[in-house]
Amino acid sequence: MLILGIETTCDETAAAVVERREDGSGRILSDVIHSQISDHAPFGGVVPEIAARAHVELLDGIVVRAMTKAKIGFADLNGVAAAAGPGLIGGVIVGLTTAKAIALVHRLPLLAVNHLEAHALTPRLVSPLAFPYLLFLASGGHTQLVAVQGVGSYIRLGTTVDDAIGEAFDKIAKLLGLPYPGGPHVEQAAALGNGERFALPRPMLGRADANFSLSGLKTAVRQVAERNTPLTRAMVNDLCAGFQAAVIDSTVDRLQAGIRLFADRVGILPTALVAAGGVAANAAIRSALEGVAADADVPLMLPPPNLCTDNGAMIAWAGAERLALGLEDAMETAPRARWRLDEAAAVPQKFVNTRANF
Ligand code: KG4
Ligand code: ZN
Protein backbone atom coordinates (compact mmCIF):
# COMPACT_ATOMS: atom_id res chain seq x y z
CA MET A 1 0.00 0.00 0.00
CA LEU A 2 1.46 3.39 -1.06
CA ILE A 3 0.27 6.57 0.67
CA LEU A 4 1.12 10.22 0.08
CA GLY A 5 1.13 12.22 3.33
CA ILE A 6 0.92 16.00 3.77
CA GLU A 7 1.82 17.96 6.93
CA THR A 8 1.07 21.69 7.29
CA THR A 9 -0.22 22.17 10.85
CA CYS A 10 2.57 24.43 12.08
CA ASP A 11 5.77 25.79 10.54
CA GLU A 12 6.91 22.80 8.50
CA THR A 13 5.64 22.25 4.96
CA ALA A 14 6.14 18.55 4.34
CA ALA A 15 5.12 15.71 2.03
CA ALA A 16 6.21 12.08 1.94
CA VAL A 17 5.41 8.76 0.32
CA VAL A 18 5.32 5.74 2.61
CA GLU A 19 4.72 2.08 1.90
CA ARG A 20 2.88 -0.23 4.30
CA ARG A 21 3.40 -3.91 3.61
CA GLU A 22 0.96 -6.78 4.26
CA ASP A 23 2.86 -7.78 7.41
CA GLY A 24 2.37 -4.30 8.90
CA SER A 25 5.95 -3.13 8.37
CA GLY A 26 6.72 0.21 6.74
CA ARG A 27 9.19 1.87 4.39
CA ILE A 28 9.75 5.54 3.58
CA LEU A 29 10.10 6.13 -0.18
CA SER A 30 10.50 9.90 0.15
CA ASP A 31 10.26 12.49 2.90
CA VAL A 32 10.51 16.13 1.80
CA ILE A 33 10.38 18.88 4.37
CA HIS A 34 10.76 22.63 4.30
CA SER A 35 11.18 24.27 7.68
CA GLN A 36 9.98 27.87 7.88
CA ILE A 37 12.14 28.61 10.95
CA SER A 38 14.02 31.45 9.23
CA ASP A 39 10.70 33.13 8.26
CA HIS A 40 9.55 33.18 11.88
CA ALA A 41 12.84 33.66 13.76
CA PRO A 42 12.76 37.50 13.57
CA PHE A 43 9.45 37.39 15.51
CA GLY A 44 10.66 34.95 18.19
CA GLY A 45 7.84 32.48 17.46
CA VAL A 46 5.56 31.13 14.72
CA VAL A 47 3.38 33.82 13.09
CA PRO A 48 0.21 32.00 11.86
CA GLU A 49 -0.45 34.23 8.84
CA ILE A 50 3.15 33.99 7.61
CA ALA A 51 3.00 30.19 8.07
CA ALA A 52 -0.27 29.84 6.12
CA ARG A 53 1.01 31.94 3.21
CA ALA A 54 4.27 29.98 3.08
CA HIS A 55 2.32 26.67 2.97
CA VAL A 56 0.25 28.01 0.03
CA GLU A 57 3.41 28.98 -1.85
CA LEU A 58 5.43 25.86 -1.10
CA LEU A 59 3.14 22.86 -0.87
CA ASP A 60 2.61 22.12 -4.61
CA GLY A 61 6.35 21.97 -5.22
CA ILE A 62 6.99 19.87 -2.11
CA VAL A 63 4.33 17.31 -3.18
CA VAL A 64 5.88 17.07 -6.66
CA ARG A 65 9.33 16.56 -5.13
CA ALA A 66 8.01 13.84 -2.80
CA MET A 67 6.41 12.00 -5.74
CA THR A 68 9.50 12.38 -7.95
CA LYS A 69 11.86 11.19 -5.22
CA ALA A 70 9.62 8.18 -4.59
CA LYS A 71 9.77 7.48 -8.35
CA ILE A 72 6.02 6.87 -8.59
CA GLY A 73 3.05 8.49 -10.31
CA PHE A 74 -0.27 9.48 -8.71
CA ALA A 75 -1.86 6.39 -10.32
CA ASP A 76 0.41 4.19 -8.16
CA LEU A 77 -0.96 5.63 -4.91
CA ASN A 78 -3.54 3.83 -2.77
CA GLY A 79 -4.54 6.91 -0.78
CA VAL A 80 -3.78 10.53 0.12
CA ALA A 81 -3.42 11.60 3.75
CA ALA A 82 -3.25 15.09 5.24
CA ALA A 83 -3.11 16.35 8.79
CA ALA A 84 -6.64 17.71 9.31
CA GLY A 85 -5.72 19.17 12.73
CA PRO A 86 -5.04 20.09 15.44
CA GLY A 87 -2.93 23.08 14.46
CA LEU A 88 -2.86 26.59 13.01
CA ILE A 89 -6.04 26.62 10.98
CA GLY A 90 -4.67 28.46 7.92
CA GLY A 91 -2.02 25.82 7.38
CA VAL A 92 -4.40 22.93 8.10
CA ILE A 93 -6.81 24.26 5.42
CA VAL A 94 -3.99 24.41 2.85
CA GLY A 95 -2.85 20.83 3.49
CA LEU A 96 -6.28 19.22 3.72
CA THR A 97 -7.63 21.04 0.65
CA THR A 98 -4.60 19.98 -1.38
CA ALA A 99 -5.07 16.35 -0.32
CA LYS A 100 -8.78 16.52 -1.24
CA ALA A 101 -7.94 17.91 -4.69
CA ILE A 102 -5.43 15.12 -5.36
CA ALA A 103 -7.87 12.49 -4.06
CA LEU A 104 -10.71 13.83 -6.25
CA VAL A 105 -8.68 14.08 -9.42
CA HIS A 106 -7.04 10.67 -9.04
CA ARG A 107 -10.06 8.95 -7.44
CA LEU A 108 -8.15 7.97 -4.31
CA PRO A 109 -9.33 7.46 -0.73
CA LEU A 110 -8.83 10.51 1.52
CA LEU A 111 -7.33 10.06 4.97
CA ALA A 112 -7.91 13.05 7.28
CA VAL A 113 -5.33 12.36 9.94
CA ASN A 114 -5.14 13.71 13.47
CA HIS A 115 -1.60 15.13 13.81
CA LEU A 116 -1.32 13.74 17.35
CA GLU A 117 -2.40 10.29 16.16
CA ALA A 118 0.38 10.45 13.58
CA HIS A 119 2.96 11.12 16.32
CA ALA A 120 1.44 8.26 18.30
CA LEU A 121 1.62 5.67 15.49
CA THR A 122 4.93 6.64 13.83
CA PRO A 123 7.16 4.44 16.02
CA ARG A 124 5.49 1.45 14.31
CA LEU A 125 6.79 2.70 10.94
CA VAL A 126 10.39 2.06 11.96
CA SER A 127 10.20 -1.05 14.12
CA PRO A 128 7.71 -3.68 15.22
CA LEU A 129 5.94 -2.29 18.27
CA ALA A 130 2.91 -3.99 19.76
CA PHE A 131 0.00 -2.19 21.42
CA PRO A 132 -0.53 -1.01 24.11
CA TYR A 133 2.35 1.42 24.64
CA LEU A 134 2.83 4.72 26.45
CA LEU A 135 3.55 7.75 24.29
CA PHE A 136 5.26 10.83 25.72
CA LEU A 137 4.80 13.59 23.16
CA ALA A 138 6.71 16.79 23.96
CA SER A 139 6.93 19.46 21.29
CA GLY A 140 6.49 23.20 20.92
CA GLY A 141 2.73 22.83 20.77
CA HIS A 142 1.97 19.72 22.81
CA THR A 143 2.75 17.88 26.00
CA GLN A 144 0.79 14.63 26.14
CA LEU A 145 1.00 11.27 27.85
CA VAL A 146 -1.14 8.85 25.88
CA ALA A 147 -1.95 5.16 26.26
CA VAL A 148 -1.91 3.94 22.65
CA GLN A 149 -4.16 0.86 22.73
CA GLY A 150 -4.62 0.49 18.98
CA VAL A 151 -5.30 2.55 15.84
CA GLY A 152 -8.04 4.98 16.88
CA SER A 153 -7.98 3.85 20.51
CA TYR A 154 -6.23 6.29 22.79
CA ILE A 155 -6.49 7.25 26.43
CA ARG A 156 -4.98 10.59 27.30
CA LEU A 157 -3.42 10.08 30.71
CA GLY A 158 -1.91 13.53 31.09
CA THR A 159 -1.39 16.87 29.40
CA THR A 160 -0.12 20.33 30.23
CA VAL A 161 -2.37 22.75 32.08
CA ASP A 162 -0.39 25.70 30.65
CA ASP A 163 2.75 25.80 28.47
CA ALA A 164 3.96 22.87 26.37
CA ILE A 165 7.51 21.82 27.32
CA GLY A 166 9.08 23.03 24.05
CA GLU A 167 7.12 26.27 24.34
CA ALA A 168 8.55 26.81 27.85
CA PHE A 169 12.10 26.23 26.52
CA ASP A 170 11.39 28.77 23.75
CA LYS A 171 10.02 31.35 26.19
CA ILE A 172 12.96 30.95 28.58
CA ALA A 173 15.34 31.38 25.64
CA LYS A 174 13.58 34.57 24.58
CA LEU A 175 13.64 35.90 28.14
CA LEU A 176 17.38 35.26 28.41
CA GLY A 177 18.20 36.69 24.98
CA LEU A 178 18.90 33.36 23.23
CA PRO A 179 17.78 32.73 19.61
CA TYR A 180 14.57 31.01 18.41
CA PRO A 181 13.76 28.13 18.55
CA GLY A 182 15.16 28.14 22.03
CA GLY A 183 15.31 24.46 23.02
CA PRO A 184 18.74 23.60 21.58
CA HIS A 185 20.22 26.93 22.77
CA VAL A 186 18.94 26.46 26.32
CA GLU A 187 20.35 22.93 26.28
CA GLN A 188 23.78 24.17 25.12
CA ALA A 189 23.86 26.92 27.75
CA ALA A 190 22.68 24.49 30.44
CA ALA A 191 25.62 22.19 29.69
CA LEU A 192 27.97 25.03 30.72
CA GLY A 193 26.01 26.12 33.79
CA ASN A 194 25.49 25.26 37.45
CA GLY A 195 21.91 24.10 37.93
CA GLU A 196 22.04 24.55 41.69
CA ARG A 197 22.99 28.22 41.81
CA PHE A 198 19.39 29.43 41.82
CA ALA A 199 16.64 27.66 43.76
CA LEU A 200 13.78 26.97 41.35
CA PRO A 201 10.45 25.18 41.96
CA ARG A 202 9.68 21.62 40.80
CA PRO A 203 6.09 21.89 39.49
CA MET A 204 3.43 19.20 40.11
CA LEU A 205 5.73 16.90 42.08
CA GLY A 206 3.97 14.03 43.85
CA ARG A 207 0.52 14.58 42.34
CA ALA A 208 -1.48 11.44 41.54
CA ASP A 209 -2.59 12.73 38.12
CA ALA A 210 -0.11 12.81 35.23
CA ASN A 211 -0.54 16.43 34.17
CA PHE A 212 2.24 18.94 33.56
CA SER A 213 2.58 22.60 34.42
CA LEU A 214 5.48 24.92 33.67
CA SER A 215 4.16 28.47 34.04
CA GLY A 216 5.17 28.73 37.73
CA LEU A 217 8.71 27.63 36.90
CA LYS A 218 8.83 30.09 34.01
CA THR A 219 7.73 32.92 36.32
CA ALA A 220 10.38 31.92 38.88
CA VAL A 221 13.09 32.06 36.19
CA ARG A 222 11.83 35.47 35.06
CA GLN A 223 11.91 36.84 38.59
CA VAL A 224 15.49 35.64 39.18
CA ALA A 225 16.51 37.11 35.82
CA GLU A 226 14.90 40.46 36.64
CA ARG A 227 16.59 40.61 40.06
CA ASN A 228 19.97 39.99 38.46
CA THR A 229 19.92 42.28 35.41
CA PRO A 230 22.15 42.85 33.56
CA LEU A 231 22.71 39.12 33.26
CA THR A 232 26.23 37.85 32.71
CA ARG A 233 26.83 34.93 30.35
CA ALA A 234 27.56 32.75 33.41
CA MET A 235 24.20 33.67 34.97
CA VAL A 236 22.36 32.83 31.75
CA ASN A 237 24.11 29.44 31.71
CA ASP A 238 23.24 28.82 35.37
CA LEU A 239 19.59 29.82 34.84
CA CYS A 240 19.32 27.53 31.80
CA ALA A 241 20.88 24.66 33.80
CA GLY A 242 18.51 25.32 36.72
CA PHE A 243 15.47 25.52 34.44
CA GLN A 244 16.38 22.32 32.58
CA ALA A 245 17.05 20.45 35.85
CA ALA A 246 13.64 21.52 37.20
CA VAL A 247 11.90 20.48 33.94
CA ILE A 248 13.62 17.09 34.15
CA ASP A 249 12.67 16.51 37.81
CA SER A 250 9.08 17.41 37.06
CA THR A 251 8.98 15.32 33.85
CA VAL A 252 10.41 12.23 35.58
CA ASP A 253 7.79 12.50 38.33
CA ARG A 254 4.95 13.02 35.79
CA LEU A 255 6.09 10.05 33.69
CA GLN A 256 6.21 7.83 36.77
CA ALA A 257 2.67 8.91 37.58
CA GLY A 258 1.75 8.24 33.93
CA ILE A 259 3.07 4.68 34.07
CA ARG A 260 1.05 4.06 37.25
CA LEU A 261 -2.08 5.48 35.62
CA PHE A 262 -1.44 3.36 32.53
CA ALA A 263 -1.35 0.19 34.62
CA ASP A 264 -4.59 1.26 36.40
CA ARG A 265 -6.50 2.18 33.24
CA VAL A 266 -5.21 -0.42 30.76
CA GLY A 267 -4.66 -3.23 33.24
CA ILE A 268 -1.10 -4.08 32.18
CA LEU A 269 2.26 -2.33 31.89
CA PRO A 270 2.98 -0.65 28.53
CA THR A 271 4.98 -2.70 25.99
CA ALA A 272 7.28 0.35 25.73
CA LEU A 273 7.73 3.97 26.69
CA VAL A 274 7.91 5.90 23.41
CA ALA A 275 9.06 9.51 23.19
CA ALA A 276 8.34 11.89 20.30
CA GLY A 277 8.42 15.63 19.60
CA GLY A 278 11.31 18.07 19.30
CA VAL A 279 11.98 18.08 23.05
CA ALA A 280 12.99 14.40 22.81
CA ALA A 281 16.10 15.69 21.01
CA ASN A 282 17.38 17.02 24.37
CA ALA A 283 20.17 14.72 25.56
CA ALA A 284 19.57 15.37 29.27
CA ILE A 285 15.86 14.65 28.85
CA ARG A 286 16.62 11.51 26.85
CA SER A 287 18.84 10.16 29.60
CA ALA A 288 16.15 10.96 32.20
CA LEU A 289 13.70 8.95 30.06
CA GLU A 290 16.14 6.03 30.06
CA GLY A 291 16.12 6.13 33.86
CA VAL A 292 12.31 6.21 34.09
CA ALA A 293 11.97 3.30 31.66
CA ALA A 294 14.64 1.21 33.40
CA ASP A 295 13.05 1.80 36.84
CA ALA A 296 9.65 0.69 35.50
CA ASP A 297 11.21 -2.26 33.68
CA VAL A 298 9.77 -1.08 30.38
CA PRO A 299 11.80 -0.71 27.15
CA LEU A 300 12.40 2.86 25.94
CA MET A 301 11.85 3.59 22.25
CA LEU A 302 13.09 6.79 20.68
CA PRO A 303 12.29 7.05 16.96
CA PRO A 304 15.05 8.69 14.87
CA PRO A 305 15.09 12.48 15.43
CA ASN A 306 13.75 13.29 11.93
CA LEU A 307 10.62 11.24 12.72
CA CYS A 308 10.25 12.72 16.24
CA THR A 309 9.73 16.23 14.88
CA ASP A 310 6.94 17.13 12.45
CA ASN A 311 7.26 15.49 9.02
CA GLY A 312 5.17 14.14 6.14
CA ALA A 313 6.04 10.46 6.64
CA MET A 314 4.23 10.34 9.98
CA ILE A 315 1.01 11.59 8.34
CA ALA A 316 1.36 9.10 5.46
CA TRP A 317 2.00 6.28 7.93
CA ALA A 318 -1.02 7.10 10.11
CA GLY A 319 -3.08 7.25 6.90
CA ALA A 320 -1.78 3.82 5.90
CA GLU A 321 -2.57 2.32 9.30
CA ARG A 322 -6.10 3.73 9.06
CA LEU A 323 -6.68 2.68 5.45
CA ALA A 324 -5.49 -0.85 6.27
CA LEU A 325 -8.48 -0.97 8.66
CA GLY A 326 -10.84 0.52 6.05
CA LEU A 327 -11.09 3.86 7.85
CA GLU A 328 -11.21 6.37 4.99
CA ASP A 329 -12.73 9.87 5.32
CA ALA A 330 -15.42 11.82 3.48
CA MET A 331 -14.64 14.76 1.19
CA GLU A 332 -16.74 16.94 3.54
CA THR A 333 -14.28 16.39 6.42
CA ALA A 334 -13.56 19.80 7.93
CA PRO A 335 -10.14 21.10 9.02
CA ARG A 336 -9.88 21.47 12.80
CA ALA A 337 -7.81 23.88 14.88
CA ARG A 338 -8.54 21.76 17.95
CA TRP A 339 -8.90 18.02 17.90
CA ARG A 340 -8.37 15.94 20.99
CA LEU A 341 -6.89 12.53 20.41
CA ASP A 342 -9.02 11.18 23.19
CA GLU A 343 -12.36 12.99 22.76
CA ALA A 344 -13.55 11.50 26.04
CA ALA A 345 -10.58 12.80 28.05
CA ALA A 346 -11.60 14.75 31.12
CA VAL A 347 -10.58 18.38 31.43
CA PRO A 348 -8.64 18.87 34.70
CA GLN A 349 -11.07 20.15 37.37
CA LYS A 350 -9.52 23.60 37.69
CA PHE A 351 -10.14 24.27 33.99
CA VAL A 352 -13.68 22.97 33.39
CA ASN A 353 -15.20 26.44 32.98
CA THR A 354 -12.37 27.99 31.01
CA ARG A 355 -11.43 28.06 27.34
CA ALA A 356 -8.11 26.36 28.09
CA ASN A 357 -7.10 24.04 25.27
CA PHE A 358 -7.12 20.43 26.41
O1 KG4 B 1 8.19 18.65 17.38
P2 KG4 B 1 8.77 19.97 17.02
O3 KG4 B 1 9.91 20.01 16.03
O4 KG4 B 1 7.72 20.96 16.44
C5 KG4 B 1 6.51 21.27 17.02
O6 KG4 B 1 6.49 21.99 18.03
O7 KG4 B 1 5.49 20.81 16.47
O8 KG4 B 1 9.25 20.62 18.38
C9 KG4 B 1 9.88 21.88 18.42
C10 KG4 B 1 10.05 22.24 19.87
C11 KG4 B 1 10.51 23.67 20.06
O12 KG4 B 1 9.77 24.24 21.09
C13 KG4 B 1 11.97 23.49 20.43
O14 KG4 B 1 12.47 24.52 21.24
C15 KG4 B 1 11.94 22.17 21.17
O16 KG4 B 1 11.03 21.38 20.45
N17 KG4 B 1 13.27 21.56 21.18
C18 KG4 B 1 13.99 21.35 22.29
C19 KG4 B 1 15.24 20.85 21.86
N20 KG4 B 1 15.23 20.76 20.49
C21 KG4 B 1 14.00 21.21 20.10
N22 KG4 B 1 13.69 21.53 23.58
C23 KG4 B 1 14.64 21.23 24.47
N24 KG4 B 1 15.87 20.77 24.14
C25 KG4 B 1 16.22 20.56 22.86
N26 KG4 B 1 17.42 20.12 22.53
ZN1 ZN C 1 3.92 17.66 16.02
pLDDT tens for each residue of 246-268 = 999 999 999 999 999 999 999 99
Cα-to-centroid distance, 277 and ligand 1 (Å): 7
Cα-to-centroid distance, 277 and ligand 2 (Å): 6
Ligand 1 nearest atom to the CA of residue 10, by list position: 7
Ligand nearest to the CA of 41: 1
Ligand 1 nearest atom to the CA of residue 9, by list position: 7
Instruction: Indicate if the pLDDT at residue 117 is higher than 60.
Output: yes
Mean pLDDT, the chain, integer:
94
Q: What is the pLDDT of residue 342?
A: 86
Q: What is the pLDDT of residue 351?
A: 63
State whether the beta carbon of 281 lies less than 6 angstroms from ligand 1: yes
Helix count and strand count (H, E) for the chain: 12, 10
Cα-to-centroid distance, 155 and ligand 1 (Å): 24
Ligand nearest to the CA of 120: 2
DSSP state string for 187-207: HHHHHHS-TTSS----TTTT-
Cα-to-centroid distance, 204 and ligand 2 (Å): 24
State whether the beta carbon of 139 lies less than 6 angstroms from ligand 1: yes
Cα-to-centroid distance, 37 and ligand 2 (Å): 15
Instruction: Indicate if the pLDDT at residue 358 is higher than 80.
Output: no
Distances (CA, A) of 325 to 4, 49, 85: 17, 36, 21
Contact indicator for 358, 347 with CB cutoff of 8 Å: yes
**Of 34, 42, 32, which is closest to residue 10 (Cα–Cα)?**
34
**Residues 16, 206: Cα–Cα separation, whole Å:** 42
Backbone angles phi, psi at 341, to 5 degrees: -65, -35
Whether the full predicted model's pTM is greater than 0.75, yes or no, is yes
Ligand nearest to the CA of 182: 1
Tell me the per-residue pLDDT of 77-108, one tens digit each, with 9 for 90 and over.
999 999 999 999 999 999 999 999 999 999 99
